[in-house]
Amino acid sequence: MLNMNLANQSAVVTMSSIDFLNDIINPARVEAGEKPVRPSDFHVRVNDEIGENINYENFVVGKTGHKTYYTILNMDQMMLVGMRESKAVRRIVLAKLKTLSSPPQLSAAELIAAIANNNVQQEKRLIVVEQKMEHIERGTIPVGYQGYSYLKATYGLSDAKSKQLVMAWSVPHKKVPHVAPGGQVIQMSVVHEESFEKALCQMMAEAEQRGSQWYHPKMARFSITSK
């Protein structure tokens, strides 16, 4: 139950008190020719040394069904508890804790492989970004759709009246990403041209000419320069 978080080239190490006992303290005692410590005795030492409010809500169940409660220790707390051991045991414990707190060293081959993998991932990310930009630049307007400036030039209805026609006749329309002349990505409104043309023809068939302008109940007065 070891947790290592490497950030800013420093390691934050935590370990359960049971793992600290079983993986570090007792192996160090055996190596130094001393008897292992029982979990109950060890946790008395932990409580006595740290002298803080320790959370013992977690537990593990042994083969006999007996529950052994444990707490989580940080590096400073493990150092304090380890210092209660004999000189020979302390040296072994300190060496093991130092190993845990040091970031793992990569071999030359592992380092080269890691750099190569990082370069590959970076290249993939760049390709994705380039593809997105290319899609924005040349694939913004779906097939069959046109912007309002095109509709105005083609059908002679102003932008405002074209938008009014689109809303009144429920002409399919949407917004798509578009690269402006300055390079800024904006949202562009586009309209389904065929549906727009049909709505325009229907509206003109129902419209009444009043002098140089036209009138339709859904459009009010409007001008049209073509079609």
pLDDT tens figures, 7-54:
333 446 788 888 888 899 999 999 989 999 888 888 888 888 876 656
pLDDT at residue 160, rounded to an integer: 94
Provide the residue range defining the domain that includes 202.
145-222
What pTM value is reported for the model? 0.40
The model's pLDDT over 165-221, given as tens digits with 9 standing for 90+, comes to 999 999 999 988 876 666 677 788 999 999 999 999 999 999 999 988 999 999 999
Number of domains in the chain: 3
Say whether both 80 and 116 belong to one domain.
no
Domain-embedded: residue 218: yes
Task: Look at residue 1 and tell me whether its pLDDT is greater than 50.
Answer: no
- Is residue 96 located within the same domain as residue 16? yes
Provide the pLDDT for residue 57.
56
Tell me the pLDDT of the chain averaged across its residues. Answer: 80
> Is residue 70 pLDDT above 60, yes or no?
yes
Do 131 and 95 share a structural domain? Answer: no
H runs (alpha helix) in the chain? 17-19, 26-31, 39-50, 75-82, 87-101, 108-138, 148-155, 159-168, 193-206
